[in-house]
Amino acid sequence: MDALVSSYPAGAHKYVRKLVVDAYSIPRFNSPEYQQRAIAEFRDDAHLACLKVE
């Protein structure tokens, strides 16, 4: 994770780290339908969080 985080500008490190931790916190699903739903929900939540950063 440190290699990924360090590839972003210093001001973004805490946000990138949070996104990675959040992604690993999502349960795994067996069904492709539920997998795609989880991906879409994570994407939308992450996008909204980025928009709210001041």
pLDDT per residue over 9-50, tens digit each?
A: 888 888 889 999 999 999 999 999 999 999 999 999 999 988
Structure pTM? 0.73
pLDDT score, position 29? 93
User: In the structure, what pLDDT confidence band is assigned to residue 54 with cuts at 50, 70 and 90?
Assistant: low
Residue in the block written with tokens 């991906």: 39
Percentage helix, strand, coil, to 5, in the chain?
80, 0, 20
The phi, psi pair for 7, rounded to 5°, reads -80, -5
